[in-house]
Amino acid sequence: MASIGLRLSLATLMALFAWGSTTALFAQGAGLKVPEPDTDEELKRFQVSPELEINLWAANPLLAKPIQMNWDAKGRLWVASSETYPHIKSGAERADKIVILEDTNNDGQADKTTVFAEGLFIPTGIAPLENACYVANSTELLLLTDTDGDGKADKREVVLSGFGTEDTHHIIHTFRWGPDGWLYFMQSIYIHSHVETPHGVERLNGGGVWRFNPRTHELQIHSRGMINPWGLAFDREGWMFGTDGAGGQGIHDMIPGVNYAATPGVKRVHSGLNPGHPKYCGLEVVGGSALPDSWQNNLLTCDFRSQRIVRFEIERAGSTFTARQLPDVLRSTHVAFRPVDIQMGPDGAIYVADWYNPIIQHGEVDFWDKRRDKDHGRIWRLTAKDKEPVAKQDLTQASDEEVIEAYMQPSEPWQQRQATRIIVDKVASDKNHYTEATARWLRSHTEDGKAHLPDRYLEYFESGRREHLLRSETALPAGKPLDVAKSVLATGTPIAKSLSLRTLADLASEFPEASQAIYPFVNDPDARVRLEAVRALARIPKPESMVEALKVLDHPMDPTLDYCLWLTANELADVWLPALERGEIAITNPAHLRFALASVERSDIIKPLLQALEGEKLSPEDRITLLELLADVGPPEALNRVLAMALQEDRRPEHRRRLLAALASAANKRRVQPTEGREKLVALIDSSDESLRPLACELAGSWKLEAAREKLTEIALATESGDNRRGPALQALVRLGGAKTLATLDKLAGEDRPLSMRQMAIRLRSDIDLAGAARQAVAMLATMEQPQPGIDDLLRAFTTKTQGPSKLVEALADVDLPPETAKVAVSVARAAPKPDDTLIKAIETAGSLVGPQPPPTPEQYAELVAMVEKASAEQGEAIYRRERLQCVKCHAIGGAGGLVGPDLTSIGASAPVDYLLASLFEPQKAVKEGYHSITLVTVEGKVLTGIVVSRTDDEVVLRDAEGVLQRVNTDDIDDEAPGRSLMPVGLVDRLTKQEVAHLTRFLSQLGKPGDYSVGRELVIRQWEALAAPPEFQRLARSGIGPDGWLQTQNSWWKPITTLVSGQLPNHELPTLSLARWQSDNSGNSSHTVATAVIHCRLTVSQAGKVGLKLNSAKGLLLMHDAKVIPLQVQDDGTARATLDLPVGEALLVWMVEPSARDQGLRVEVVDLPDSQGRATPVVGR
């Protein structure tokens, strides 16, 4: 769809994330009512799941400002708390505390508090032992011990140090004991840690999960990435899950060695299980006899921005899991309720640490903002109705039998976790400690002479034993731990096998046969076990590891397996690639070789690649992939082979397209071209296959193929429209350059040509004759009384070049611009990657404009705040969706929308009105982490600004303000500087005050209970609609099959997102005039109706039947896989559909007749009873 008139080119709403530095603008408390810190008031504001009850367990003066909590085996709750946070006042003492809370009379409320330690510096993690605890203390991990039994720590050991503190809401935190007896903890994106341990130095730059073995002082990086990893828990089997307090991917399956979002310096990251979800922190897996059956093994996590606690059900799916959201655990309308940690307790209840603060920490909020609460804190307790609490047990006083009993009966997860830790500790110092007790337990629990021993017991028991054996002063019993691991592998469940595979990888350096023991499990029937084997092999740096890992390709793959195999291929590349080159290993299966070579972007794959291409068993698909790789890395001579194949008429057009694209990329990125046969490309410009023609034009340009000039000029100057070669032909001519190209462009810029053509000619000229193009552009603007479509693109051709602004300034001298046109020009200049003040001034002078509108005064802000209260969120949503504001293009709600700016799903629940307003008017003031842009200047003089998506030694990938990924070779970068917010200033200048109020009202409602909260239903929110040009409509009317819609050009599909309610507004759907397919699908063109063609995608994680729930079937046709899917209309007017889907991505095509529908289309994905099928809507593209 053509952009019109006032379209502004850059993102909106970039910065809306937390409160900004608005205190300077505002009278205290404007837009945010700081509540009275009354616990009854807070209690009243909870809406709790009907299955639960809530009570206050602890509050001031028992504690203040809890950040993290964990239980000890006596049933006492240890809490790390800080009144210093977020920043220490100069000269203030370090005065933060660890307190221990107890409910001594078992009445469901804490009645005793002990200050275990003081003098701490923003402690953000706590893991208790019996009379000691590990504490995160800024740069240090401390062990605080009470040696004399008076309940207070009197010994302070710095266990580890060197953790970064670049941001106090990212410093090490979230301590959890793993079932393996290791201490797990996390650090977040801005932290750079450098730690010496007796076993080596560990460095972690960016976010990630650490694991530390207190018995050996080994420190390892478990996994990297996530923006603010904050929440970590193990389920009843031992699988580890994580949440991200600043990312939007929900629950994460935490796989050892994997890189998640925002890992620095990697090409590919793995995603969470729920893309499009709000940020979550604190994670717990609940269960036990005091909770309902349907809650067993559920994951609970805190949506601290929206003041709610959410619940997920996890289920194994392929090599990973699905995490399906269940009804909320609780919600609050109290602005200071901030659930930051959640834990099962010794009585089987759920405990929630409430940090209690109307302001959440972010750098955007002044450290000393008076609205920050520095004093309060609560622990809330959630119990199930009609359930008896679990009898509390002090496991430190329990007999060995009781500990084994608690361990072996995982029905009470709290008891079982505490018992695990006790067992691992004891066994580490005395391997036989529980031998007798275990034997007795086994005898008493034997049925039919067969013990029901949980597999993982062996594993954890042995992990303790192995440490003991390795450290003992007796000779190593070679092979012993290996035997254990092998026996578990022979019979175990997937978790037991997985843990054993990790153990084998640990042992591989000492026991070479450990690696062979891993090999068979690459072929295990369970996909997760296969994945673990692939990951375990990554830790054994032998060429054979890769050969074996690739065998996983002989079994069904899924995205997680694909990622893990890719990761293993890359981690081992220095080992297997040289061995392959030297012929020391052979990868004979072409599919294996293709995967391996395609995984590593390195030039030394050439030799194996050429060998592989000699292979006779290659499938056409494998061959094309290998040739693409050859084009990526090969020398000019090698490219001849690629070109020869691309020119073969009998090859599939799709394959030929891929090869042409690979050749273009080689020419553009590496400046490498084939040495022979290039002139044959000219014929391809007229190929009988239309899809090849534009690519041939493009390649002719990349090669600067003079032989093609005549043909290209002919295409460029043709007067009939609709030739898909014109754009590429013009581009190619520009690359050929010279006077001939300028002459062609002059003709195209002539006044007899359509405006869009003239603009394109000027834009193209700017690449080769900047000054001339600037004169032509200014001349065009000077005659334009009202701004016309396309002038923003025209001007952007100049503002994205280093010399562009100055040439425009020169051309503007003594020229008058019509004021309305000048206004648009100014907004484009302001939105430039590097706004040039001289240019802005020059346009203002030429257009006789006054300067930019200053931001509102505090009084004006106050007036707006008052207006927002009475404004309409519904109208605000309509404004939000206006194309020229481009909010949707950059921001997502519920995952649907742009990725340029932060997701706004819960912005209203986390940000007060004053902050929202300030972010609209002054977007530079506060920018969310992960959304800081950089500006790059290339050696060619191009200026790019965007968010860094990934950065490696070779390449920087930016997401620009248009949402487009821009790849820049590191070698091509001339200069780099921190960029501005991608959200331009002055966006809302053109809105009326009332419109600003409506828009802000809408934003302020997002995430709050009500109509503007994204529910847990899997609503399809991201769609694409066919917005085809008129000539296509003629084609369409002549008849086109259901499949035909998808053959249309990509550029004709336009993204469209639903309203927050999940409905696609009828009036926003672009329509085609089509044969009435509903009553008469014969293609009778005399009877036509306005019809929208839209499609959506589902990610299918588990094959099978999946349901769709539609709000109405009126005027609707659904197609999948070229078949019409029947819609079953229900009594209430809603409709259902059933799809049978394979693993992967499913594309659903819909035809909608808007005039036949009284409400916008809303589609929900639902699981069907008795079906294994699982699918979720694709979001975030």
Binding stretches for another protein (CB under 8 A): 20-21, 86-91, 94, 122, 138-139, 157-159, 161-162, 164-168, 171, 190, 192, 194-201, 203, 215-217, 363-364, 366-368, 470-471, 473-475, 924-927, 929, 932, 978
- Shortest approach of another protein to residue 984 CB, angstroms? 16
3-state helix, strand, coil in the chain (%, to 5): 35, 25, 40
Positive/negative CA dihedral, 866, 871, 873, 879: negative
Tokens 């717990």 sit on residue: 284
C-alpha pair distances (Å), 286 with each of 47, 314, 407? 20, 12, 16
**Residue 796 in contact with residue 828, Cβ under 8 Å?**
yes
Q: For another protein, give the closer residue by CB, 3 or 165.
A: 165
- How far does Cα 576 stand from its chain's mean position? 31
- Measure the CA–CA gap between 331 and 47, rounded to whole angstroms: 5
| Minimum CB distance to another protein, residue 216 (Å) | 5
Q: What's the CA gap between 282 and 298, in Å, rounded?
A: 14
Q: CB of residue 808 vs another protein: minimum separation in angstroms?
A: 28
Mutual orientation of helices 636-647 and 653-670 as an angle, nearest 10°?
A: 150
* Smallest separation (angstroms) from another protein to the CB of 913: 20
The crossing angle, in degrees rounded to 10, of helices 770-782 and 755-765 is 150
| Beta pairing, strands 1116-1120 & 1104-1110 | unpaired
How far apart, in whole angstroms, are the C-alpha atoms of residue 323 and residue 19?
31
Which residues, in sequence order, are CB contacts of 237 under 8 Å at separation 6+? 456, 493, 495
Q: How far, in Å, CA of 173 to CA of 133, rounded?
A: 14
User: Which residue number, 355 or 407, has a Cβ lying nearer to another protein?
Assistant: 355
Tokens of 915: 């902050």
Q: Rounded to the nearest whole angstrom, what is the least distance from the CB of residue 564 to another protein in the complex?
A: 24
- CB 247, min distance to another protein, A: 18
Shortest distance in whole angstroms from residue 29 CB to another protein? 20
List Cα–Cα distances, 130 to 143, 424, 427, 1147, in angstroms.
12, 14, 16, 56
Nearer to another protein, 112 or 199 (CB): 199
Kindly tell me which of 392 and 932 has the beta carbon lying closer to another protein.
932
Task: Tell me the residue length of the chain.
Answer: 1181
Q: Which is nearer to another protein, 14 or 1163 (CB)?
A: 14
Of 802, 805, 857, the residue nearest 826 (C-alpha): 805
| Residue 1129 backbone dihedrals phi, psi, to 5 degrees | -80, 130
> Exposed e or buried b for every residue in 798-811, given b needs 16+ CB within 10 A?
bbbbbebbbbbbeb
Report how far residue 1004's alpha carbon sits from residue 917's, in angstroms, rounded to the nearest whole number.
10
Measured from the CB of residue 121, what is the shortest distance to another protein in angstroms? 8
Give dist(CA 701, CA 704) in Å, integer. 5
Three-class SS state of 675: coil
Q: Which is nearer to another protein, 467 or 792 (CB)?
A: 467
User: Which residues make Cβ contacts (< 8 Å) with residue 53, sequence separation at least 6?
Assistant: 382, 383, 384, 385
Q: Please, what is the minimum distance in Å from the beta carbon of residue 713 to another protein?
A: 47
Residue 162 or 1065: the one with the smaller Cβ distance to another protein is: 162
- Is the Cβ of residue 584 or residue 976 nearer to another protein in the bound state? 976
Cβ nearer to another protein, comparing 112 with 203 = 203
Contact 740, 706 (CB under 8 A): no
Of 469 and 717, the one with the shorter C-beta distance to another protein is 469
Q: Which is nearer to another protein, 171 or 323 (CB)?
A: 171
- Closest contact distance (angstroms) between CB of 980 and another protein is 10
In which region does residue 199 sit, left (phi positive, over 0), alpha (psi from -120 to 50) or beta (all else)?
alpha
* HSE (side-chain half, CA atoms, 13 Å) at 490: 6
Question: In whole angstroms, how close is the CB of 943 to another protein at the nearest point?
Answer: 19
Using CA atoms, how far apart are residues 925 and 679, in angstroms rounded to an integer? Answer: 55
Tell me the closest approach of the beta carbon of residue 465 to another protein, in angstroms.
16
Q: Rounded to whole angstroms, how far apart are CA atoms 1067 and 1049? A: 23
Q: How far is the CB of 168 from another protein (least distance, A)?
A: 5
Helix, coil or strand: residue 638: helix
User: Which residue has tokens 């336009």?
Assistant: 1054
Whether 985 and 922 have beta carbons less than 8 Å apart is answered as: yes
Residue with Cβ nearer another protein (799 or 981): 981
Q: How far is the CB of 977 from another protein (least distance, A)?
A: 10
Supply the minimum distance, in Å, between the C-beta of residue 474 and another protein.
Answer: 7
Choose between 660 and 916: whose C-beta lies nearer to another protein: 916
Helix axes 606-614, 620-633, angle to 10 degrees: 150
The tokens of 520 are what? 């068979």
CB of 900 to another protein, least distance (A): 18
- Cβ 1133 to another protein, closest distance in Å? 51
- Using CA atoms, how far apart are residues 703 and 663, in angstroms rounded to an integer? 9
**Choice between 158 and 451, CB closer to another protein:** 158
SS (H, E, C) 812-870: HCCCCCCHHHHHHHHHHHHCCCCCCHHHHHHHHHHCCCCCCCCCCCHHHHHHHHHHHHH
Closer Cβ to another protein, 261 or 817, answer by number: 261
> For residues 334 and 925, which CB has a smaller minimum distance to another protein in the complex?
925
If the CB atoms of residues 168 and 259 are measured against another protein, the closer one turns out to be 168
Q: How far is the CB of 712 from another protein (least distance, A)?
A: 43
Cβ closer to another protein: 61 or 91?
Answer: 91
